[in-house]
Structure 1
């Protein structure tokens, strides 16, 4: 398999696709294509990006191409067993799928005002009402998941799973923008950021030679 991703410092969707590949346990080749770099427009017009219209991540599994992070999760879950990605309990699985889908389709204000940048920590500042609404919703559903299904483990549904993959980039944003969190959320964010794969991603981002100014001037 070959996974095409963007910059690890900035590309939240790439991070989700990459974590999904790690979760699968399957071997894969990682190809980083710097977003907005000199070769970006030319590269994204090539055949390897054709299916996704030039967006990352893109997973090539032999001659099969899968794009979009949630689709990559589902593709890999079909290959290695869904229990590796989703809770076994039916009620937990229903909630987990709903939370993953909501993260996939919602929270535009958070994405716009707090773009991912794992190399920065900005001082706290007032949060706009629409961003505050997004944060409130995220914290509410995460609290519900932890209370119902988290058990003694630190992740939302006990073991690290597809939902934690979908919410991992948000955890980095909460740190980057110094968002004040309730105690349960502090523990969850720490658990995600201390996961070995998440640490590997963030550490690799520190060594990237590329800088995208539009993502560096937000704070």
Structure 2
């Protein structure tokens, strides 16, 4: 099996094939643990990935760094979704659909909520992606304000905790399946957006 070249940060050199193989094994074990809801212990990850403990710590010095690496594809997908929304013609539809996609991603990808909830980032790539997302979210809201379709008194700083409230409300009494939780989150988000929209 061949492995793609992995770059661990924006400035790091590409990993050798053996190191890339170990990186993938560690991340896959970590992903499985996150999906199971099992707290990550790096020693346990090393055992399950059949690599040395030092190898795990060399790639991921903390459990948070491993969770962030797992979350990167989801963060990149959200950035791509935000770019697509900014290219849309209708400011309200763009904002609404981006927020729908955001709540769905956080419910279906368990690595995303802890990364978004953390004030500090362990990896430069995570920090960069989160900063880009916040910036593009602000641009989407500004476009909606400029078009007169969103309450100008509501800011990005207001919407971020409100979105967290939607996520909490959708998961505090978990539905039996992810699609049900997504539907619940969308319903609560629709209520929030109805309050935001001006007519």
TM-score normalised over the length of structure 1: 0.32
Higher relative strand content: 1
TM-score normalised over the length of structure 2: 0.34
Which structure exhibits the higher relative contact order, with contacts defined as CA atoms closer than 8 Å and separated by 6 or more residues? 1
Query: Who wins on radius of gyration, i.e. which is larger?
Result: 2
Higher relative helix content: 2
